[in-house]
Amino acid sequence: MRLLVVDFDYFFPVPQDPEDPMAPLYAWAHFETPYYLGEVWEERALAFLLRGLPLPQARGWEGFWERFAFAPEARLYYADSNALAFHPEVRQGVREVVLFDAHHDAGYRPLGEEPACDDWMVYYARQGARLRVFYPSWRDPSLEPAPVVPVERVKDPGGPVEGIFQRVFLCRSGAWVPPWADEAFFAFLEAASLPKVALEAVARRPFDLEGLLRRSEEEALGLRIMERLRGLF
């Protein structure tokens, strides 16, 4: 049984060089809590809009599924958190995991009692599965700590992926990927021509871009007025 796992943050490039002038705009904390899945993204969006910058988008997901061959009985399971890649319906009988992700998810801290979004691969290693990670072309793997279990890690060379997959798991990773990319995520999900099973509720998150644009204009106006006042004193 071969399992293909795809984390949608694979398609959301972020700066890798800490000296990149854009890097501070992506200095985001990541926790899978309601605040970090939703509300925090308004503040992060404003950081771009106040500077007159477009919001970063998911890229390169079109045509991705065409790289793979699937068994006739294959199903696609999906969720927001990658922790559910080790869900009982997904993990049963899996002997190899092939992960497309910006992170290896094979342990960065002491393990908890249950699989988490950053260590679920460790649990597959414990059941004897072979682990492979393909990083996106924009990702610098050297920035990641070493995994705590053996994992084959390479940059994705593109093109067809060898072998047949009997099961697929897709996660949105809403703490890493913003709500303004939700339309792309659901289009990507729909593009997979496989029966689909939701392991948790995954809905489009509310995001008022027009309201944020108005707010950014008001904030910018306030800043200009303050600068002019400072010049008078």
Positions of the chain with pLDDT under 50? 222, 225-226, 229, 232-233
- Per the CB < 8 A criterion, the answer to whether 70 and 161 are in contact is no
Nearest to 88 by CA among 204, 203, 199: 199
> Phi/psi at 61 (nearest 5 deg)?
-85, -20
Give per-residue pLDDT as tens, 15-38: 999 999 999 999 998 899 999 999
Give per-residue pLDDT as tens, 162-179: 999 999 999 999 999 999
Q: Is 121 exposed, middle or buried (0-12, 13-18, 19+ CB in 10 A)?
A: buried
